[in-house]
């Protein structure tokens, strides 16, 4: 008994080490990548390291036009996903819609999704493990693992995948915020570099608040009247405060 417990602890520690290494590699990639597609492919590649007996992996994304495969490890994964979309049912769709992890062996898949399971079986898939993946309101879906074994996944694998996807979600959300901030900073820099001060202020208000040109000018006029200052002075204050806020790393 003690030996079995020790072996179980060792296996669990090994998987935790693999998760840590996978997430560190993903974090490193985020420093260099501007493409979500590239990062999702990296997520799929790294999960092969984190969980044993994963033969294929993919990410399903929900879109206005229906589900699509945002990333996958090989062509067969894409074909398996496509069969699932055609059938309108399967583990990744259930995980994305329910927000729950789905772990199913070959027999369970045949009972729950007979049309899809038959097609997937022809493509060499025996077991399934899918976890919901939610980045933001635009990017949500599931991370899907496929095994050729009929009983390819254990309860421990389910726990590991949950830990992995939770951490991945956090990393990707941080990356999305970083990109949004960088784009905003670049837009503000363009406004500051290419326009006189009143137009600079208008450009800043348009970027930060979504105003059109007339709304931005009207806001500046009201600010000038409320503070009893010249329009140019009100504009210079907006520009100065924004530059200071950006330099301090705040949203202004």
Per-domain boundaries in the chain = 2-179, 195-247
**Cα–chain-centroid distance for residue 232?**
43
Please tell me the total number of residues recorded for the chain in this structure.
252
pLDDT in tens, 129-142: 999 999 888 889 99
| CA 122 to chain CA mean position, Å | 31
d(CA 241, CA 252): 7
Crossing angle for the helix pair 197-209 and 231-247, to the nearest 10 degrees: 60
Two tokens at 67?
Answer: 């589900």
Top pLDDT among 210 and 14 is at: 210
Architecture of the domain whose range is 2-179: 2-Layer Sandwich (3.30)
Q: What number does CATH give the domain 195-247?
A: 1.10.10.10
Residues 6+ apart with CB under 8 A from 62: 96, 140, 141
Instruction: Find the mean pLDDT for residues 29-56.
Output: 84
From 103-112, 125-134, 176-185, 230-239, the region with the lowest mean pLDDT: 176-185
Whole-angstrom distance, CA of residue 96 vs CA of residue 37: 18
């Amino acid at each position: 008994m003690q030996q079995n417990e020790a072996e179980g602890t060792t296996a669990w520690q090994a998987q935790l080490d693999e998760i840590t290494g996978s997430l560190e590699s993903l974090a490193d990639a985020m420093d260099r990548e501007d493409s979500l597609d590239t990062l999702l492919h990296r997520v799929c590649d790294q999960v092969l390291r984190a969980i044993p007996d994963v033969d294929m992996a993919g990410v399903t994304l929900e879109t206005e036009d229906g589900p699509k495969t945002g990333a996958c490890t090989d062509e067969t994964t894409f074909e398996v996903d496509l069969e699932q979309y055609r059938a309108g049912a399967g583990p990744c769709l259930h995980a994305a819609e329910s927000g729950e992890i789905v772990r199913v062996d070959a027999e369970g898949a045949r009972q729950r999704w007979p049309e899809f399971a038959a097609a997937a079986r022809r493509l060499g898939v025996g077991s399934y493990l899918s976890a919901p993946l939610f980045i933001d309101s635009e990017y949500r879906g599931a991370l899907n693992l496929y095994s050729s074994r009929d009983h390819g996944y254990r309860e421990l694998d389910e726990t590991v995948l949950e830990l992995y996807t939770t951490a991945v979600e956090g990393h990707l959300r941080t990356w999305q915020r970083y990109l949004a901030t960088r784009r905003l900073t670049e837009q503000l820099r363009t406004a500051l570099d290419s326009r006189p001060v009143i137009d600079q202020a208008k450009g800043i208000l348009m970027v930060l608040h979504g105003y059109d040109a007339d709304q931005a000018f009207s806001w500046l006029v009201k600010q000038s009247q409320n503070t009893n200052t010249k329009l140019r002075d009100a504009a210079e204050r907006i520009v100065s405060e924004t530059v200071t806020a950006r330099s301090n790393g705040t949203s202004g």
